[in-house]
Structure 1
Amino acid sequence: MESSTSIERAASPGLSGETERSRFKRLADSPYLFILPYAALFTLLIVLPVAIAAAMSFTSFNTVEFPRFVGFQNYIDLFTGDSVFLQHAVTNTLLYGAIVGPIGYMLAFLLAWMLSQVPHRIRTLYTVILYSPSITGPVMMTVVWKVLFSGDQTGYLNYWFMKMNLIKEPVQWLQAPDILVPIMIFIALWGSMGVGFLAMLAGLLNIDKTMYEAAYIDGIRNRWQEIFFITIPSMKPQMLFGAVMAIIGTFNASGMAAALSGGTPPPQYAGWLIVDHANDFGFIRYEMGYASAVTVVLLYIVILFNKVSYKLFGDKS
């Protein structure tokens, strides 16, 4: 009996070590360990700032004194007393989003589909050309467009229109509210071929070609049927990603009207977007609590439009 007990005691350290190794192996093979870096960064860079902004939206905070809790007062002032927010920021943002978002999205898909039909080398060149404006962003590229739409005789557009006798004196393109917004939308569409465009192109290039052959045997007769019945259903993940990126990029736009017109705010608040309103109160007036309330409202608008995108392109299974 004593000998068997001593043998069990002698074997127990080995069993303990094997148990520890098996626990470490299970931990190393755990999927949670692989997503830990992303989860930590996502929490630090996304969840925490959103939570802080939501908490600050219920305070009055001037970045110097300690935040003072005011409840829903910021939201009440925002929707009942801030005429610039309701009449200009929200209206311009929805108009801008309704035009730039869908048209830019459809344009990205159309150009990606056209590029998928051409040879590899030419496709690479055209992809770089189309993608390059989105690298610098519309605000930075307004420097180039200001030369074209300059309000004096040296502006390219005024120069050629006057030379062709279409106008008799220079037009203040960037100071007229009715003209500034269309120019801003045009520049945004010109630079809208971003990451979503690349995702759609990648999705198009990875569709199984045999599906098209089988579809033509089953009765498909033209390219339009091919696009709607084969191409789009086969790349729904890329279409969803492109839609989400288009929504985020559209509602995150800011500073373009001020950069074009040369002043903040632009004439009659033309092109004044929700992010511009938040930046104005947060970094110029130092009313961080009120600016946080503006960003929270914008967050809910983006979530609403994202839900629409998931309804259209999400997995319904």
Structure 2
Amino acid sequence: MSEAITRPAVEKTKKTKAAAGASPSLWTRIIRHRTSFLFLSPFFILFFIFTVVPVFTAVFLSMTYYNILEPPRWIGLTNYRNLFLDDDIFLKAIANTLMFAVFTGPIGYFMSFILAWLISQIPQKYRFLYTLCFYTPAITSSIAMSVVWLYLFSGDRYGLINYWLIKLGVLTEPFIWLQDVQTILPVIILVSLWMSMGTGFLAFLAGLANVPRDLYEAGVIDGVRYRWQELWYITLPSMKPMLLFGAVITVVNALQVSEISAQLAGSPSTLYAGHMILNHLDDYAFVRFDMGYASAIAVVLFLMMVGLNRFIFNILGERD
């Protein structure tokens, strides 16, 4: 009899403890932390309006024929089928963009970090000058491409590179750098690397400046003797968030390249040798006004970015 009475009581106690230990629901957490969510609400509202809604709108339009003048007409996955089975120029643009990203992504990323690390080793009063020198190309990109790089790679004998190569006897006649299919993409990669000291470079500088100095002092006590040992055992682990941020920015910039290609090689470039995914999107969106097809290109580009960023998060993100 006592066992029959005790068992339900024990089971009820276990259920009560389990319910108490269970995590509260989302709505409960929102009510509990309503002040915090109230302060975050402006960001959430703007993020939803200007990011979430456009993404879902693009996904919807990518499954329609929409030329701006007429209402969208549902066609299902036809745009995606045409992209990957009938559009050879789009496949060429994907190959060019990935080739561009393979070279400019890792090289630009490591260049940004190494230069930021070297600048952090010099006295404080000189850092601003060096930072300004390396960051200037990123904020004067259009002027630099028009004035400097187009002059350097001009296809006549007045172009600086042609002038010196002819003078040295390497060439007998001017070489058309920005119209030759073999040199268009390398020139675009070179100019992009020169302009790669952007937001990621500044993030690395900030991260290096915020590494606690006592960690280096503790490292000396533990046997760290060289700068490279400090970099590997102390600096890199301490600035993992900045490394992650710089990697994400690098991937986004590498996949969104279009302005450099259009200004240097034209749009479209010779035999589409410098044609990028974003150039293809601009062509269909703002020249042909086929917004449904352009939205399909945008969705593919978005999925590529999400996949690569997920890969980066798995490498540099914190497990906990």
State whether TM-score is above 0.5.
Answer: yes
1:90 pairs with one of 85, 88, 94: 94
Structure 1 position 224 matched with structure 2 position 237? no
Q: Shift in Å at residue 140 of structure 1?
A: 4.9
The 5 Å alignment of 1:234-253 reads: 234-253=238-257
Which residue in the other structure is 1:43 paired with? 48
Structure 1 position 215 matched with structure 2 position 232? no
2:139 pairs with one of 135, 139, 143: 135
1:315 pairs with one of 305, 313, 318: 318
Which residue in the other structure is 2:38 paired with? 33
Structure 1 position 58 matched with structure 2 position 69? no
Once residues 60 and 246 of structure 2 are traced to their aligned partners in structure 1, the CA distance between those partners, rounded to angstroms, is 31
Change (3 A) 1:48 1:307: same
Q: Per the alignment, in what secondary structure is the counterpart of residue 226 of structure 1?
A: helix
Structure 1 position 69 matched with structure 2 position 78? no
Would the aligned equivalents of 1:173 and 1:180 in 2 still touch at CA under 8 Å?
yes
Q: Shift in Å at residue 49 of structure 1?
A: 1.2
1:78 pairs with one of 75, 83, 86: 83
Would the aligned equivalents of 1:60 and 1:69 in 2 still touch at CA under 8 Å?
yes
Q: Cα deviations across residues 144-177 of structure 1 (Å, max 9, x unaligned)?
A: 2001100111111111111222211111111111
Once residues 297 and 257 of structure 2 are traced to their aligned partners in structure 1, the CA distance between those partners, rounded to angstroms, is 14
Which residue in the other structure is 1:273 paired with? 276
Q: Shift in Å at residue 220 of structure 1?
A: 2.5
Once residues 280 and 186 of structure 1 are traced to their aligned partners in structure 2, the CA distance between those partners, rounded to angstroms, is 24
TM-score by length of 2: 0.87
Which residue in the other structure is 1:20 paired with? none
Moved more, 96-105 or 157-166: 157-166
Would the aligned equivalents of 1:109 and 1:200 in 2 still touch at CA under 8 Å?
yes
Structure 1 position 306 matched with structure 2 position 309? yes
Would the aligned equivalents of 2:267 and 2:275 in 1 still touch at CA under 8 Å?
no
Percent identity of equivalent pairs? 44
Q: Shift in Å at residue 27 of structure 1?
A: 10
The 5 Å alignment of 1:154-165 reads: 154-165=158-169
Which residue in the other structure is 1:126 paired with? 130
Paired residues, what number? 289
Q: Shift in Å at residue 196 of structure 1?
A: 1.1
Once residues 175 and 101 of structure 2 are traced to their aligned partners in structure 1, the CA distance between those partners, rounded to angstroms, is 27
TM-score by length of 1: 0.88
Would the aligned equivalents of 2:65 and 2:291 in 1 still touch at CA under 8 Å?
yes
Q: Shift in Å at residue 40 of structure 1?
A: 1.6
Once residues 304 and 28 of structure 1 are traced to their aligned partners in structure 2, the CA distance between those partners, rounded to angstroms, is 33
Which residue in the other structure is 1:182 paired with? 186
Q: Cα deviations across residues 50-107 of structure 1 (Å, max 9, x unaligned)?
A: 1111110000011111110000010111111111111x11101111111111111110
Q: Shift in Å at residue 256 of structure 1?
A: 2.1
Q: Per the alignment, in what secondary structure is the counterpart of residue 178 of structure 1?
A: coil
Which residue in the other structure is 1:8 paired with? none
Q: Cα deviations across residues 99-142 of structure 1 (Å, max 9, x unaligned)?
A: 111111110000100010111221101111111211233x5532
Would the aligned equivalents of 1:27 and 1:33 in 2 still touch at CA under 8 Å?
no
Would the aligned equivalents of 2:262 and 2:279 in 1 still touch at CA under 8 Å?
no
Moved more, 185-194 or 156-165: 156-165
Once residues 105 and 72 of structure 1 are traced to their aligned partners in structure 2, the CA distance between those partners, rounded to angstroms, is 37
What amino acid is the match of 2:278? V
Q: Shift in Å at residue 258 of structure 1?
A: 2.7
Structure 1 position 259 matched with structure 2 position 254? no
Would the aligned equivalents of 1:257 and 1:270 in 2 still touch at CA under 8 Å?
no
Q: Shift in Å at residue 292 of structure 1?
A: 0.4
Change (3 A) 1:98 1:28: closer
Once residues 194 and 40 of structure 2 are traced to their aligned partners in structure 1, the CA distance between those partners, rounded to angstroms, is 37
1:292 pairs with one of 291, 295, 299: 295
Q: Per the alignment, in what secondary structure is the counterpart of residue 172 of structure 2?
A: coil
Once residues 55 and 133 of structure 2 are traced to their aligned partners in structure 1, the CA distance between those partners, rounded to angstroms, is 35
Aligned CA RMSD, in angstroms, stands at 1.6
Q: Shift in Å at residue 214 of structure 1?
A: 1.4
Q: Per the alignment, in what secondary structure is the counterpart of residue 30 of structure 1?
A: helix
Would the aligned equivalents of 2:109 and 2:246 in 1 still touch at CA under 8 Å?
yes
